[in-house]
Amino acid sequence: DKAARGQRWCLDDFEIGKPLGKGKFGSVYLAREKKSKYIVALKVLDKSQLVRANVEHQLRREIEIQSHLRHPNILRMYGYFYDSKRIYLILEFSPGGELYKQLTKKGKFSERLSAKFISDLAFALDYCHSKHVIHRDIKPENLLVGVNDDIKIADFGWSVHAPTSRRNTLCGTLDYLAPEMVEGREHDKQIDVWSLGVLLYEFLVGNPPFEAENHSATYRRISRIDLRFPRHVPTDAQDLIRRLLVKDPTKRMSLEEVPRHPWVVRNLSS
Ligand SMILES: CCCCNC(=O)c1cccc(NC(=O)CCCCCNc2ncnc3[nH]cnc23)c1
């Protein structure tokens, strides 16, 4: 279709349906491409707001990254177009909607559903990392649910390519950066592994692990890895979460080990 031929899309190619969600600079609508009758989600962003917030470069990166990733657990971006006032992203429609709404409704997820989600996310993030893409913002608000409870990573508004040669222009010469900062890309990759640990805790317990009254209390709990489990969390699930929520990024479990962890194996096969 047009996307394959890279031809120009325009708003008139689509019939617009109900709103699906909203974000900082716009909203997402259910839509149908008129000729093919293909159902999509159309994310409509306001240009003047993006410019005022100086996030055009972030949006450009989101488009560049998401339109080139192809994975069953990463929301597809089929294309984009713009007019004088808005930018339109043509996205995959994910019938299960936003994951955080399901989590809020259910309170917490079963061990089996949590194991499926975490295993799928580990494969999707490993795919991203193999393309030197780091998401950096994995949380229930950025995840959608497709058919058959497939989880989809949606918002790449904060993802980056790593390593980037532009680093020196950003921070001046590399000469003055500490070794671990120059090697930052490894640690960065491990940022997504940490988020997986936070997510798994939240799936099984119903709230994130380091929740506290205010930012500084939360920060203190994170830096101390002040991890407490309700009695209903099985010890093998606790073991996986403790191996993901490790302070030293280089000592965190690798993504490829996640689907092989005993708790995941026990809950995927059953
Ligand atoms: C460059 C920074 C951009 C910041 N992002 C925004 O301003 C922004 C604008 C609009 C929406 C959002 N947030 C999002 O698009 C993520 C949450 C909204 C999901 C909407 N629900 C969906 N349900 C089913 N299938 C879909 N396919 C895509 N979305 C859906 C974010």
Which value does ipTM take for this structure? 0.93
Query: What average pLDDT score do residues 241-264 get?
Result: 93
- Does the CB atom of residue 91 touch ligand 1 within 6 A? yes
Q: What pLDDT does residue 167 have?
A: 35
Q: What pLDDT does residue 142 have?
A: 86
Phi and psi at residue 10, in whole multiples of 5°?
A: -145, 165
**Measured distance CA(248)–CA(265) in Å, rounded:** 26
Q: 121-165: per-residue pLDDT in tens?
A: 999 999 999 998 887 778 888 899 999 889 999 977 666 666 543
Q: 53-66: per-residue pLDDT in tens?
A: 999 998 998 999 99
Q: Which of 13, 137, 150, 188 is catalytic?
A: 137
Clarify whether 137 is annotated catalytic.
Answer: yes
**Measured distance CA(265)–CA(259) in Å, rounded:** 7
**Measured distance CA(12)–CA(42) in Å, rounded:** 13
**Measured distance CA(248)–CA(219) in Å, rounded:** 16
For residue 178, name the pLDDT band (cuts at 50, 70, 90). Answer: very low
Q: What pLDDT does residue 235 have?
A: 98
- Does the CB atom of residue 62 touch ligand 1 within 6 A? yes
Which of 49, 60, 86, 144 is the pocket-test mutation for ligand 1 (most atoms within 8 Å of CB)? 144
- Compute CA distances 254 → 24, 123, 192, whole Å: 33, 11, 10
Measured in angstroms, how far is the CA atom of residue 21 from the centroid of ligand 1? 6
Query: What average pLDDT score do residues 246-268 get?
Result: 94
Q: What pLDDT does residue 247 have?
A: 84
- The lowest-confidence range among 128-142, 179-193, 219-233 is 179-193
For residue 188, name the pLDDT band (cuts at 50, 70, 90). Answer: low
- Does the CB atom of residue 151 touch ligand 1 within 6 A? no
Which range, 137-141, 220-224, 225-229, is most confident?
225-229
Query: Rounded to two decimals, what is the model's pTM?
Result: 0.87
- Does the CB atom of residue 55 touch ligand 1 within 6 A? yes
**Measured distance CA(44)–CA(86) in Å, rounded:** 7
**Measured distance CA(123)–CA(23) in Å, rounded:** 27
- Compute CA distances 211 → 66, 201, 225, 265, whole Å: 30, 11, 12, 29
> Is the pLDDT reported for residue 179 higher than 80?
no
Query: What average pLDDT score do residues 21-38 get?
Result: 94
> Is the pLDDT reported for residue 242 higher than 60?
yes
Q: Which atom of ligand 1 is nearest to the CA of 155?
A: 16
Q: What pLDDT does residue 6 have?
A: 64
For residue 104, name the pLDDT band (cuts at 50, 70, 90). Answer: very high
For residue 44, name the pLDDT band (cuts at 50, 70, 90). Answer: very high
Minimal CA–CA distance to 68: which of 117, 24, 7, 3?
A: 3
Measured in angstroms, how far is the CA atom of residue 28 from the centroid of ligand 1? 6
- Does the CB atom of residue 74 touch ligand 1 within 6 A? no
